Structure 1
Amino acid sequence: MTKICAAFNMTLDGICDHTTGIADQELHQHYADLLRTSDTILYGRKTYQLMEYWKNLVKEPSGVKEMDDFAIVMDNIPKIVFSKTLKEIDWESAKLSDKGLPDKVEELKQQIGKNILVGSRSLIIQLLNLNLIDELQLSIHPIIETKGLEFFENLNVRKDLKLIKTKVFKSGVVTLYYEIKRED
């Protein structure tokens, strides 16, 4: 059975605005490596549209190796987008989901292969509330932002986690890898 893995960036105080954080070469390399160990990534509309930036970087590289490498990996990984407003997508490696989120995730979990990543806050929260995430990877940036979108704002079910690994970056970013504890 495939593992559903949610990965996201946030500040120390839980803010997850995409403009806040340390997007350095080491972090780009980390996420490129994560994408390489996955079969697919799931996005909501807003995050998908933000990630389209990387499609353009493949066509016109930045000259920064880690960013350009990340752009290539991001361009290649299959993406499934959940949206009620988008009618079509023009990124060759992306497609709109043919099912609702819970049904599609249950279908993907039955496949044999690498991890399925969830890269949108809204999808992560929905899947946590539905108990469909197996692993949560949070990259905590050493910033106290004080305002913005709170990562866990709409979580309505308590989650007990087991810390399985940590990774510390030179920038002070710490990635915490948690297994979601399941009730037997």
Structure 2
Amino acid sequence: MRKLLLKMEMSLDGHVADSEGGSSWPLDFYDDKLTADCVAFLAAAGLHIMGRQSYEDMAPYWPTSTSPFAKPMNDTPKVVFSRSLEEANWPETRIHRGDLAEEIERLKLQDGGPIVVHGGVRFVQSLTRSRLIDEYRLHVHPTALGSGRSLFDAPLKLNLVDMRRFSSGTVAMTYTPG
């Protein structure tokens, strides 16, 4: 059974997006080593999943990007969970309109590499509430946003299983549900 892995960028004060929903601020902390680590993580994925908003944010960008992240983002199959998205033009993408938990459980039973979640906050919170995420891989960056969007909307006990520090001060922590 393959795992559902979430990788999110987070500020020291616990925000994954600024107060306007912006999420480009973590790029200031990416050096060659952190970039290589993230590219390897994305390349190992057998499937990328996301909600409609993340799809709409990413689909216009990645097909023409020259970023080191572009190849795994474009080549890996993707599933968008949405009842309102009419079509998915990003290659290797299909839309799922049914029950989120049922489809995730079905996808976990398939062969292949891990399933990587690309969040929007609301999508990730729905996965968390349904206890579908097997690992939370959080990059905590040495900055405080002061306000913004939080990853968690309810209490959740987590167990730390790995921690690595990067020269930028970013700490990569992997947690499993407790």
TM-score range, shorter chain: 0.7 to 0.9
The gaps in structure 2 that reach 5 residues or longer are 18-22
* Paired letter, 1:88: E
* Paired letter, 2:93: A
Q: Deviations over 1:114-165 (max 9, x none)?
A: 211111132221111111111111111111001222222x2x3x32211111
Q: 2:63 maps to which residue?
A: 55
Distance 1:41 1:140 in 2: 22
Q: How many residues align?
A: 169
Q: 2:135 maps to which residue?
A: 135
Q: 1:125 maps to which residue?
A: 125
1:1-184 aligned within 5 A: 1-17=1-17, 18-23=23-28, 24-26=30-32, 27-52=34-59, 53-57=61-65, 61=66, 67=67, 69-120=68-119, 121-152=121-152, 154=153, 156=154, 158-181=155-178
Distance 1:113 1:72 in 2: 18
Matched position secondary structure for 2:26: coil
What percentage of residue pairs aligned between the two structures are identical?
A: 30
Q: Assess if the C-alpha contact under 8 Å between 1:42 and 1:117 holds in 2.
A: yes
What TM-score, normalized to structure 2? 0.87
Matched position secondary structure for 1:16: strand
**Pairwise CA distance, 1:87:** 0.2
Matched position secondary structure for 1:21: helix
How has the CA–CA distance of structure 1 residues 28 and 54 changed in structure 2, closer, same or farther, with 3 Å as cutoff?
Answer: farther
Distance 2:64 2:71 in 1: 10
Matched position secondary structure for 1:114: coil
Q: Assess if the C-alpha contact under 8 Å between 2:161 and 2:175 holds in 1.
A: yes
**Pairwise CA distance, 1:28:** 2.9
**Pairwise CA distance, 1:25:** 4.1
**Pairwise CA distance, 1:42:** 0.8
**Pairwise CA distance, 1:98:** 4.5
The gaps in structure 1 that reach 5 residues or longer are 62-66
**Pairwise CA distance, 1:82:** 1.2
Q: Assess if the C-alpha contact under 8 Å between 1:6 and 1:117 holds in 2.
A: yes
Distance 1:42 1:95 in 2: 10
What TM-score, normalized to structure 1? 0.84
Q: Assess if the C-alpha contact under 8 Å between 1:80 and 1:94 holds in 2.
A: yes
Distance 1:46 1:142 in 2: 27
